[in-house]
């Protein structure tokens, strides 16, 4: 069964993964990536423009699907070998979170809506993922995730 995930990373880090077709979570930890499966949907939220920067971004900055079966490790520098997953990213526009706050289950009615993002990686409901996908892929979200729209009642096809 398809699951949906939200990763949290600065926009510059998300852009690096987007350009190379991979994602990382939790500063390269394996555990969050191991919970995902091929075919799962993933969206990234970027609180800031740059890693350790102070300029706010507060946008969903990339969306795609996991395409491999297990996390793999890469050695970037001597003391840093993060785990990654391969992602098929979609050509999407970034989506400001503010207009979505009242619609998303995990932020609706919450004054401290940013708290959930401090986890760095968490599972989203299908409903929340769909709302974000519609904002980022307004014309192609249903095809991107192979979702069929239910016919409206009283309308024959």
Domain ranges across the chain: 4-144
Higher-pLDDT residue of 157 and 34 is 34
CATH topology for the 4-144 domain: ph1033 like fold (3.10.590)
pLDDT-based confidence at 4, cuts 50/70/90?
very high
- In this prediction the pTM is 0.88
pLDDT-based confidence at 48, cuts 50/70/90?
very high
pLDDT-based confidence at 151, cuts 50/70/90?
very low
Check: CB of residue 47 under 8 Å from CB of residue 117.
Answer: yes
Tokens read off for 26: 């939790």
Torsion of CA 48, 51, 115, 74, to 10 degrees: 130
**In 3-state terms, the chain is what percent helix, strand and coil (to 5)?**
25, 25, 45
Q: Per residue in 85-139, pLDDT tens?
A: 999 999 999 999 999 999 999 999 888 898 889 888 999 999 999 999 999 999 8
Cα gap 102→81, rounded to integer Å: 39
């Amino acid at each position: 069964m398809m699951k949906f995930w939200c990763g949290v990373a600065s926009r510059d880090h998300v852009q690096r993964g987007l350009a190379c077709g991979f994602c990382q979570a939790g500063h390269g930890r394996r555990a969050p990536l191991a919970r995902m499966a091929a075919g799962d949907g993933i969206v990234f939220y970027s609180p800031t423009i740059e890693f350790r920067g102070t300029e706010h971004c507060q946008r969903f900055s990339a969306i795609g699907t996991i395409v491999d079966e297990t996390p793999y490790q890469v050695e970037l520098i001597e003391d840093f070998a993060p785990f990654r997953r391969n992602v098929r990213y979609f050509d999407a526009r970034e989506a400001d979170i503010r207009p979505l706050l009242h619609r998303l289950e995990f932020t609706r009615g919450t004054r401290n809506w940013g708290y959930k993002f401090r986890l760095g990686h968490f599972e989203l409901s299908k409903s929340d993922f769909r709302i974000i996908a519609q904002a980022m892929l307004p014309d192609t979200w249903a095809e991107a995730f192979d979702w069929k729209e239910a016919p409206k009642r009283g309308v024959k096809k």
